[in-house]
Structure 1
């Protein structure tokens, strides 16, 4: 099982729940959570241990968000395609994804991880510069990653369409 598949399972992204998460409301409200999480963690200097309450609420939000919204009427938008591309990517051991995606995705995942480490150090040390750099790196790499997922979705859609043309049932 891939790491992405394990993460998807943690967020209950199996079966029809992928379609729910492809709802633009799910995508963009979840995507916008990081600054609030950063603020909640940073708030420890103002409200002490009470910062755990908003942190916990945001973690719960991240956990339930992918299945909270209804399946969209159509998937013809960038965000929905990125989620469906992530589904293909997480299931690449069962359904082969074109090899030309592997290296860029690994690089973008590494960049997100580096950004995460910088962000954590910035939050730990209360360094606004590191916090901002980490956040920017995470968001830039994540957006590029999601764009790559759209590319995977389009490749897989085209591959499946051409295989149905060549092999009608």
Structure 2
């Protein structure tokens, strides 16, 4: 099983989302609310166990619920000529294309940035579990910086792939295959 296959199984937005859900997630409101509130809400829910005791589980469930429904809360954007929409379209392309279909200059950096974000989030998780503010802040900043840089690379990929291949890959409803 490849890393992409594992990633698809772990995150339903990657494997289970249809073209309409991806289009809705490309709405700038969806992109920016997820960036601005998703991880902070999860972090706050973890820290809230100090303040609200066992009710922190409800706060965690609410944060997970928000992250889960966020791509479905907006309509498809009227225009995709914005950074948020392009980052979402580029990410969908990158996840659906085989390694050979990805231009060589886009093959390594996104993987490094995903690994950097995962490492940052691991430090963040340690900080939340241990209730240590510095690892929490460092992990959050590292994870978010890598994620935003990754999304910016996805904008670049989307621009490089604009054209017939891009249109087929964006609208294809087949989650496992590449552009058709």
> TM range, normalised to the smaller chain?
0.7 to 0.9
Higher alpha-carbon Rg: 1
The answer to whether the Cα contact below 8 Å between 2:14 and 2:95 also exists between their aligned partners in 1 is no
The number of equivalent residue pairs is 161
**Secondary structure of the residue that 1:73 maps to in structure 2?**
coil
2:153 aligns with 148
| Contact 1:25/1:69, CA 8 A, preserved across alignment | yes
Q: Tell me how large the CA RMSD over aligned residues is.
A: 2.1
Question: Does residue 1:65 correspond to 2:43, yes or no?
Answer: no
Query: Which residue pairs with 1:167 in the alignment?
Result: none
> Which whole-Å CA distance do the structure 2 matches of 1:123 and 1:51 have between them?
12
1:106 aligns with 2:107: no
TM-score (norm 2): 0.82
Q: 1:44 aligns with which of 40, 49, 55?
A: 49
Please list every run of at least 4 consecutive aligned residues from structure 1 whose deviation after the TM superposition is greater than 3 angstroms: 3-6, 8-12, 158-161
Q: Structure 1's 5 and 155: CA in aligned 2 closer, same or farther, altered over 3 A?
A: farther
Match of residue 25 from structure 2 = 21
Deviation at 1:31, TM superposition (A): 1.0
Counterpart CA distance in 2 for 1:101 and 1:121 is 31
Q: Which runs of 5+ in 2 are unaligned?
A: 167-180
Deviation larger for 109-118 or 7-16: 7-16
Which residues of 2 match residues 86-97 of structure 1 at below 5 A? 86-93=91-98, 96-97=101-102
